[in-house]
Amino acid sequence: MCCVGGVGSCSDTGKSGACGTMLEEETDQTYENVLAEIQSFELPIEATLRSVYDDQPNAHKKFMEKLDACIRNHDKEIEKMCNFHHQGFVDAITELLKVRTDAEKLKVQVTDTNRRFQDAGKEVIVHTEDIIRCRIQQRNITTVVEKLQLCLPVLEMYSKLKEQMSAKRYYSALKTMEQLENVYFPWVSQYRFCQLMIENLPKLREDIKEISMSDLKDFLESIRKHSDKIGETAMKQAQHQKTFSVSLQKQNKMKFGKNMYINHDRIPEERNETVLKHSLEEEDENEEEGDEETFENYYRKQRKKQARLVLQPQSNMHETVDGYRRYFTQIVGFFVVEDHILHVTQGLVTRAYTDELWNMALSKIIAVLRAHSSYCTDPDLVLELKNLIVIFADTLQGYGFPVNRLFDLLFEIRDQYNETLLKKWAGVFRDIFEEDNYSPIPIVNEEEYKIVISKFPFQDPDLEKQSFPKKFPMSQSVPHIYIQVKEFIYASLKFSESLHRSSTEIDDMLRKSTNLLLTRTLSSCLLNLIRKPHIGLTELVQIIINTTHLEQACKYLEDFITNITNISQETVHTTRLYGLSTFKDARHAAEGEIYTKLNQKIDEFVQLADYDWTMSEPDGRASGYLMDLINFLRSIFQVFTHLPTNNSDHAAMSGKVAQTACMSACQHLSTSLMQMLLDSELKQISMGAVQQFNLDVIQCELFASSEPVPGFQGDTLQLAFIDLRQLLDLFMVWDWSTYLADYGQPASKYLRVNPNTALTLLEKMKDTSKKNNIFAQFRKNDRDKQKLIETVVKQLRSLVNGMSQHT
């Protein structure tokens, strides 16, 4: 087309090359197409010809040349065809000559027919005069018809009025009266029947007013009964539109990949007239005419009464979702009717009236929902309530009612929903912990390995290199807990949908609720688990390992939330998950419980001690209870140090726990043995009992020096028994002079021996020597030794008294 438009340009510049050739070829092709269309008779010829003349200024001349050429071609073809059919033509002429005789006969018949027709025309002239008379009569009839046609519409409208009154379509009857008075009656006001009609209209209006008031009452009763059905229909349509909008939005997201608001959909603010088409089509016609003020006051008064009834909930509404649904459908039906009345009537209700009524109702609705939702303990019921509130709000928003306060209420209910979720998941966590065997997860093949990896984000190159069978360091509860935390996030997300909030806000909600799950619910369940009596020492160590892996998995949970909300963790003000502190506290509690249980077990063994505190000679071997205790400690610490670990972190953690537990056990055992010696109920101790007790302490020292747990430096573990050792050495060698001389010196051999402790034990031995004659050899050989004991006692008492006064 550019060449067609540029013909002049090409000609002016003298360029008649390629452009002209292309132009002529295109023009010839166009004319051939036009001629083909004309010959086909399939398209309108005028449209085809117009396309030729609209093309360019010289189109007519060129088209005529083409047309002449085409005609010449057709003439040639006709000539060829005539030559081809010449013999047939000759034969046809011969046949015509044969019918010449018949043609002459026909001519005679035609002449006779013409003569008879002329004779008949004379009678036509006579009948013409009759026609003229009939025409005059027809004109008179036409005049009468015109007058009747002028009256007929009035009569038809009045007849229509009677039919409408009979059919109780009073609104239409009032409109018909208005048309009669303003349009039809002026045409025929000179006729008497028209005056009768005019006089009858006021009576009809009064009848309509009375009937309308009665129908208004019936209408009010009808909409009261059908409000729930109307509301149900409106909410279903709103939900359908919402579902369609969400589907369309998801398609747009998939197509364009935009980070848009999650479920940021609104019901178009279109009033759905079909909701009331069948139930209100007739009734609303009865309310617009008559005494307007009377109708308005009566209608509004009755509707306010109905509103109070609709807004009053049933006492057990909170027990089932159907109770809430009935409550919402009745309210929606009420206000859908009000909106319909507002737009199809004039003055019966106003926007200010509906706004005032809605604000009053909204305050009541929020108070009712806040009160009844507080009784809901089932998160599924709370979620159903939230969905109903969203549909309820979107439906009424589509009819122009403000619903922002309802969405504010949903944020309050969201907190309650999270609380119910936390309670539910507390039970889930408890069940998981109850079912766990607190042993590393065994795997025998690649399939089992992939199953565990699919449930929990565990990465350990060393474990991957190991051959089957092998074990994961954590127990079964770890992947189950991780899965349930993700399920909690999904459940929390369900409430956040359709709240018309941005992805950033939803991301913040999910992270805060997840933090509550970790720091409050899961932490509490872990602490309760740790304190349960049936949880043993090995189970506690496994719990420590489990919490380490759960802590490491928190970053994957953050990635999981990010993938859901499309909000990067680097975004400003993004809330972090507090798994680090949660699981660290749980580990500390588990470690403390390990030390507590271990000490309790030591106490149980110590309670089995049955010393003969008055024996004269020791048995020559350690006590049975102590050997059993030491064997128990060896086995426990062996389990601690041989826990299955796949990396250095686990090994270091297990070793640290074992070292701390071993030191705590030795210190507790030393304290328990010391308390046994100093027990106030123990009045007498013989030297043989001290020697037997010394044998037991020696076994404790041997246990400490045998390095039951690797990692202790030097004699660190033996120092747990240093107080006992120095005290027993003092009594075994009877080196009181050194003790008293070096007391208070940093380099004292008996630095750890407290004078009060030594005095208590010495007095127990002194009392024994008096009754059992333990020191008889001293009295026989040298009575000065007895005096020495008394002297030491006096000196020790002096030290103790001096310490008390100094303190």
549 contact partners, CB below 8 Å, separation of at least 6: 456, 458, 473, 474, 478
Structural tokens at position 63: 């088209």
**Strand, helix or coil for residue 295:** helix
Structural tokens at position 765: 């031995």
Distance CA 76, CA 279 (A): 79
Quick: pLDDT tens for 480-531.
Answer: 999 999 999 999 988 887 777 788 888 888 888 888 999 899 999 999 999 9
Structural tokens at position 143: 């005049």
E strand residue ranges, 554-600: none
**pLDDT number for residue 246:** 58
Burial class for 429, CB neighbours closer than 10 Å (0-12, 13-18, 19+): buried
pLDDT-based confidence at 703, cuts 50/70/90? very high
Quick: pLDDT tens for 469-484.
Answer: 888 888 999 999 999 9
Residue in the block written with tokens 């892996």: 549
**pLDDT number for residue 280:** 42
The residues with which 470 forms a beta bridge, in sequence order, are 443
Percent of the chain residues past pLDDT 90, beyond the cut: 16
Helix (H) or strand (E) holding 525: helix 523-530
C-alpha torsion angle, residues 731, 735, 736, 740 (rounded to 10): -120
pLDDT of 281 over the 50 cut: no
Residue in the block written with tokens 């010394």: 694
Contact 154/188 with Cβ under 8 angstroms? Answer: yes
Mean pLDDT of 150-166: 89
Quick: pLDDT tens for 359-417.
Answer: 999 999 899 888 888 888 888 888 888 888 888 888 988 888 999 898 888 888 888 88
Greater confidence (330 vs 785) lies with 330
Contact 184/153 with Cβ under 8 angstroms? Answer: yes
DSSP-derived pairing of the beta strands 441-443 and 470-472: antiparallel
**pLDDT number for residue 797:** 86
Distance CA 574, CA 559 (A): 12
**pLDDT number for residue 695:** 94
pLDDT of 803 over the 80 cut: no
The predicted model scores a pTM of 0.62
Greatest mean pLDDT among 123-132, 295-304, 588-597, 785-794: 588-597
Residue in the block written with tokens 């969203």: 390
pLDDT-based confidence at 427, cuts 50/70/90? very high
**pLDDT number for residue 123:** 80
Residue 803's alpha-carbon distances to 177, 546, 585, 680, 754, in angstroms, are 121, 51, 42, 21, 11
Burial class for 689, CB neighbours closer than 10 Å (0-12, 13-18, 19+): buried
The residues with which 132 forms a beta bridge, in sequence order, are none
95-99, 191-195, 755-759: the lowest-pLDDT one: 95-99
Distance CA 318, CA 376 (A): 7
Distance CA 585, CA 525 (A): 12
Residue in the block written with tokens 């009537």: 345
Q: Quick one: which of 694, 670, 681 has its CA closest to 617?
A: 694
Quick: pLDDT tens for 223-260.
Answer: 778 777 888 888 888 888 877 765 665 565 444 333 33
Mean pLDDT of 635-639: 83
Distance CA 183, CA 171 (A): 18
How many other C-beta atoms can be found within 10 angstroms of the C-beta atom of residue 104? 9
Q: Quick one: which of 262, 254, 264 has its CA closest to 503?
A: 262
Backbone angles phi, psi at 471, to 5 degrees: -135, 140
**pLDDT number for residue 270:** 41
Percent of the chain residues past pLDDT 70, beyond the cut: 82
Contact 409/389 with Cβ under 8 angstroms? Answer: yes
Q: What is the DSSP string of 758-790?
A: HHHHHHHHHHHHHHH-TTHHHHHH-THHHHHHH
**pLDDT number for residue 606:** 93
Distance CA 186, CA 194 (A): 9
Quick: pLDDT tens for 564-581.
Answer: 888 766 664 556 776 677
- Torsion 530-534-536-541 (CA) sign: negative
Residue 125's alpha-carbon distances to 133, 139, 285, 500, in angstroms, are 13, 22, 65, 93
Average pLDDT, the chain: 80
**pLDDT number for residue 667:** 94
pLDDT of 5 over the 50 cut: no
Mean pLDDT of 733-762: 87
Quick: pLDDT tens for 165-210.
Answer: 888 888 788 889 888 888 888 888 888 888 888 888 889 888 888 8
Greater confidence (784 vs 726) lies with 726
Distance CA 227, CA 206 (A): 31
**pLDDT number for residue 570:** 63
Backbone angles phi, psi at 442, to 5 degrees: -85, 140
Contact 191/155 with Cβ under 8 angstroms? Answer: no
Give a three-class secondary structure readout of 232-256: HHHHHHHHHHHHHHHHHHHHHHHHH
267-276, 355-364, 441-450, 646-655: the lowest-pLDDT one: 267-276
Distance CA 184, CA 152 (A): 10
Distance CA 412, CA 782 (A): 91
Distance CA 667, CA 197 (A): 119
4 contact partners, CB below 8 Å, separation of at least 6: 23, 26, 27, 55, 56
Residue in the block written with tokens 């070829």: 25
42-51, 489-498, 773-782: the lowest-pLDDT one: 773-782
**pLDDT number for residue 120:** 81
**Strand, helix or coil for residue 735:** coil
Q: Contacts from 311-318 at CB under 8 Å and sequence distance 24+?
A: 311/361, 311/364, 311/365, 311/368, 313/368, 313/372, 317/372, 318/372, 318/373, 318/375, 318/376
E strand residue ranges, 382-536: 441-443, 470-472
Quick: pLDDT tens for 597-622.
Answer: 899 999 999 999 999 998 888 888 99
Residue 594's alpha-carbon distances to 440, 529, 530, in angstroms, are 19, 13, 9
Contact 661/594 with Cβ under 8 angstroms? Answer: yes
